[in-house]
């Protein structure tokens, strides 16, 4: 089958390209490179020995998306394209709403015009809000988001559900990712944040590589076993594989399914630091710091639905995630920039 990946040159998209190509599918990538570069796709082609049809342009541009779909008949789309920096979304909310909601609406309109009513959407555990209930199951009520980025995920889920309610021909998979980390085992593709990252793993890698003098652990007084925040870190290749399973499901079912993609295991920031040190035989410089506003104490998934519905389970350990993230970083200290 042939699948369209909007935002397919980005971190999760590029790893999903590898997974889909290796499963024998064809991949069409549409990306404006606002947070990525074509080199990731060249690396995907190197890993797989297969070609990707790559289109540079904006997913909010209806004429452009229609042209891609005219030229490339597809079976389903995976919609990764979006801006994702939580802090930035607080500073420039309208840009986030315009880009993330605009891209979702435009893509749906163009897909429907081409009679392709199958979409897999990149949502986030952020839609659970400040839930005190863990593990988080898909049937938890959606929470109140703490930032515009989170609301764009919340609203996109709503838009896609309403579209499917109005037209039962739609197949919609809302995938709620927990905390994706790690890289392809080759070290050829990985996470390449532009500017100073906000997420824990890229910051750990910077601290390990000497680019960040000291890692701050945000908060030591949470109601968790060691006082630091707990998250469900998931290897990006497991996540990529979840998209393959979701696409296989989407092409043979109609309606909406919401599916968590996480391991079901929660690890604290201190456990992550220790595992990274052990996996890579190094010492990280770190210190305790104040809580980061907006962080919740614990977030981890109930992954049972993904297993039941899709036959999917994460297989990589935290050790694998730390090893592969550092392998990518050591081979590519400046990311995709030479």
Nearest to 69 by CA among 24, 108, 123, 17: 108
Q: Which of residues 209-268 bind ligand UFG (CB under 6 A)?
A: 215-218, 229, 231
- Residue 229 touches which of ligand UFG, ligand NAD, none (CB < 5 to 8 A by kind)? ligand UFG
Measured distance CA(312)–CA(175) in Å, rounded: 12
Q: Which of residues 39-68 bind ligand NAD (CB under 6 A)?
A: 58-60
- Taking residues 48 to 87 in sequence order and writing x for each that binds ligand UFG by CB under 6 A, - otherwise, the string is ------------------------------------x-x-
Quote the least distance from Cβ 214 to ligand UFG, whole Å: 10
Which residue stretch of 96-104, 122-130, 242-250, 326-334 sits at the interface with ligand UFG (rule: CB under 6 A)?
122-130
Q: How many CB atoms lie within 10 A of CB 197?
A: 17
Which residue stretch of 12-20, 50-58, 123-131, 238-246 sits at the interface with ligand UFG (rule: CB under 6 A)?
123-131
Q: Is 336 in the site for ligand NAD (CB under 6 A)?
A: no
Quote the least distance from Cβ 227 to ligand NAD, whole Å: 23
Q: Which of residues 194-213 bind ligand NAD (CB under 6 A)?
A: none
Q: Which of residues 145-184 bind ligand NAD (CB under 6 A)?
A: 177, 180
Per CB under 6 A, the list member of 72, 198, 220, 317 interacting with ligand UFG is 198
Question: Which stretches of the chain are DSSP H helices?
Answer: 11-22, 39-48, 62-71, 86-91, 93-96, 102-113, 148-166, 200-208, 236-250, 269-280, 304-305, 318-331
Measured distance CA(210)–CA(214) in Å, rounded: 9
Contact (Cβ atoms closer than 8 angstroms) between residue 14 and residue 24: no
Place of tokens 């497991």: 238
Measured distance CA(294)–CA(129) in Å, rounded: 10
The DSSP result for 14-28, as a single string, is HHHHHHHHHTT-EEE
The two three-digit tokens of residue 109, written as one number? 């309109």
Place of tokens 């549409």: 30
Residue nearest to ligand UFG (CB): 229
Q: Which of residues 139-168 bind ligand UFG (CB under 6 A)?
A: 150
CB nearer ligand NAD, residue 254 or residue 305 = 305
Quote the least distance from Cβ 126 to ligand UFG, whole Å: 3
- Residue 106 touches which of ligand NAD, ligand UFG, none (CB < 5 to 8 A by kind)? none
Q: Is 122 in the site for ligand NAD (CB under 6 A)?
A: yes
Kind of pairing between the strands at 230-231 and 267-268:
antiparallel
Quote the least distance from Cβ 221 to ligand UFG, whole Å: 12
Quote the least distance from Cβ 124 to ligand NAD, whole Å: 3
Q: Is 298 in the site for ligand UFG (CB under 6 A)?
A: no
Q: How many CB atoms lie within 10 A of CB 109?
A: 14
CB nearer ligand NAD, residue 40 or residue 171 = 40
Measured distance CA(271)–CA(193) in Å, rounded: 23
Q: Could you confirm whether 149 is annotated as catalytic?
A: yes
Nearest to 327 by CA among 284, 276, 289: 276
Per CB under 6 A, the list member of 295, 305, 309, 313 interacting with ligand UFG is 295
Nearest to 252 by CA among 139, 173, 164: 173
Just list the catalytic residues. Answer: 149
Q: Site residues (CB under 6 A) for ligand NAD?
A: 6-7, 9-13, 31-36, 58-60, 80-84, 99, 103, 122, 124, 177, 180
């Amino acid at each position: 089958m042939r699948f369209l990946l909007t935002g397919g040159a980005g971190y999760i998209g590029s790893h999903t390209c590898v997974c889909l190509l290796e499963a024998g599918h064809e991949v069409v990538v549409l990306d404006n490179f606002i947070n990525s570069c074509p080199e990731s796709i060249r690396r995907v082609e190197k890993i797989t020995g297969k070609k990707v049809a790559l289109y540079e342009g904006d997913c909010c541009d209806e004429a452009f998306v229609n042209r891609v779909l005219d030229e490339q008949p597809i079976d389903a789309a995976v919609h990764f394209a979006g801006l994702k920096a939580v802090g930035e979304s607080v500073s420039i909310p309208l840009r986030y709403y315009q880009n993330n909601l605009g891209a979702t609406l435009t893509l749906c309109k163009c897909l429907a015009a081409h009679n392709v009513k199958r979409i897999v959407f990149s949502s986030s555990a952020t839609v659970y809000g400040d839930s005190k209930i863990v593990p988080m199951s898909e049937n938890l009520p959606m929470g109140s988001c703490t930032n515009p980025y989170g609301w764009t995920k919340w609203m996109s889920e709503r838009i896609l559900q309403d579209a499917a309610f109005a037209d039962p021909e739609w197949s919609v998979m809302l995938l709620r990712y927990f905390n994706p980390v790690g890289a392809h085992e080759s070290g050829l593709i990985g996470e390449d944040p532009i500017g100073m990252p906000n997420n824990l793993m890229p910051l750990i890698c910077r601290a390990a590589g000497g680019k960040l003098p000291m890692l701050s652990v945000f908060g030591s007084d949470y109601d968790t076993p060691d006082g630091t925040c707990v998250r469900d870190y998931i290897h990006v290749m497991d996540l990529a594989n979840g998209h393959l399973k979701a696409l296989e499901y989407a092409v043979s079912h109609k309606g909406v399914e919401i599916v968590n993609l996480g391991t079901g295991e929660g690890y604290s920031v201190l456990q992550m630091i220790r595992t990274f040190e052990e996996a890579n035989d190094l010492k990280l410089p770190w210190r305790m710091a104040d809580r980061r506003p907006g962080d919740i104490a614990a977030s981890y998934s109930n992954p049972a639905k993904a297993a039941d519905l899709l036959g999917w389970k994460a297989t990589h350990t935290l050790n694998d995630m730390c090893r592969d993230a550092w392998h990518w970083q050591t081979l590519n200290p400046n990311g995709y920039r030479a």
